[in-house]
């Protein structure tokens, strides 16, 4: 547990998979964590973080960004269109682009603002009703649509169903990315990031294994 341990395990997983050192980016998922824990990780030199709610991130990150140089925060949770502008101002990447309405809103705002975060399209690989993401069967068309809007689509993201073998979902995501010529693969969390790296993850999203359990009480 902890940042150093996770970094070591990522380096080993890269090596085991025959991948270049540093080819996987570690997104430290700081949602719900107390500021002291986040600060500890910042003081250890880590600069890339993930949040799943716009409002929570707005409360937390402007202050840290003033105190620490080079901080990057990625949005990894669902995004409502009415929060898209705030998200585009705060995050350097959005991993949860999952429907045409949101893609259209981001495209319009990107025109207006003259910039756009890196985008990942979330795929609902487990076809779960309660989960966000475009269905695998609709992914190719949606990727083409987003590219048609000139959006900077860097890759795909998935969150496998808890009760299923994650590797099957990682492999499916990698396959969809490959046939669409996308390099980014945002996949793998505390319990399965090594498997994700073996299957090509470029971004792993690790929370509790770095910071400890989240306390929702």
Ligand X SMILES: *Cc1c(COP(=O)(O)O)cnc(C)c1O
Shortest distance (Å) from residue 28 CB to ligand X: 9
Shortest distance (Å) from residue 196 CB to ligand X: 11
Shortest distance (Å) from residue 170 CB to ligand X: 13
In this complex, which beta carbon is closest to ligand X, that of residue 117 or of residue 207? 207
Shortest distance (Å) from residue 190 CB to ligand X: 3
In this complex, which beta carbon is closest to ligand X, that of residue 88 or of residue 204? 204
Give dist(CA 189, CA 23) in Å, integer.
16
What 185-191 contacts at long range (C-beta under 8 Å, 24+ apart), as own/partner pairs, is 185/155, 185/156, 185/157, 186/27, 186/76, 186/95, 186/120, 186/155, 186/156, 186/157, 186/158, 187/157, 187/158, 187/160, 189/29, 189/159, 191/166
Chain residue at closest Cβ approach to ligand X? 207
In this complex, which beta carbon is closest to ligand X, that of residue 112 or of residue 213? 213
Chain positions contacting ligand X, by CB under 6 A? 29, 31, 52, 76-77, 159, 189-190, 205-209
- Sorted by sequence, the CB contacts under 8 Å of residue 72 that are 6+ apart come out as 47, 48, 49, 92, 93
In this complex, which beta carbon is closest to ligand X, that of residue 34 or of residue 148? 34
Within 68-149, residue ranges assigned H as helices are 84-90, 100-113, 136-148
In this complex, which beta carbon is closest to ligand X, that of residue 89 or of residue 213? 213
**Which residue is listed with tokens 């695998």?**
136
Nearest to 124 by CA among 79, 176, 84, 198: 176
Shortest distance (Å) from residue 210 CB to ligand X: 8
């Amino acid at each position: 547990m902890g940042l150093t341990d996770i970094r070591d395990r990522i380096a080993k997983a890269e090596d085991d998979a025959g991948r270049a050192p540093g080819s996987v980016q570690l997104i430290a998922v700081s949602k719900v964590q107390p500021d002291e824990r986040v600060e500890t990780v910042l003081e250890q030199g880590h600069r890339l973080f993930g949040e799943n709610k716009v409002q929570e991130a707005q409360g937390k990150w402007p202050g840290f960004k003033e105190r620490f140089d080079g901080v990057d925060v990625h949005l990894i949770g669902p995004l409502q269109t009415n929060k898209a502008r705030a998200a585009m101002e705060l995050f350097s990447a959005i991993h949860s682009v999952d429907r045409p309405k949101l893609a259209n809103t981001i495209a319009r705002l990107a025109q207006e603002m003259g910039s756009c975060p890196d985008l990942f399209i979330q795929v609902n690989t487990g076809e779960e009703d309660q989960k966000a993401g475009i269905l695998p069967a609709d992914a190719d068309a949606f990727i083409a649509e987003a590219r048609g809007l000139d959006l900077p689509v860097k890759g795909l993201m998935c969150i496998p169903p808890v009760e299923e073998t994650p590797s099957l979902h990682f492999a499916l995501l990698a396959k969809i990315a490959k046939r669409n010529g996308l390099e980014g693969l945002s996949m793998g969390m505390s319990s399965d990031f090594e498997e994700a790296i073996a299957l090509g993850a470029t971004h792993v999203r690790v929370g509790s294994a770095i910071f400890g359990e989240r306390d929702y009480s």
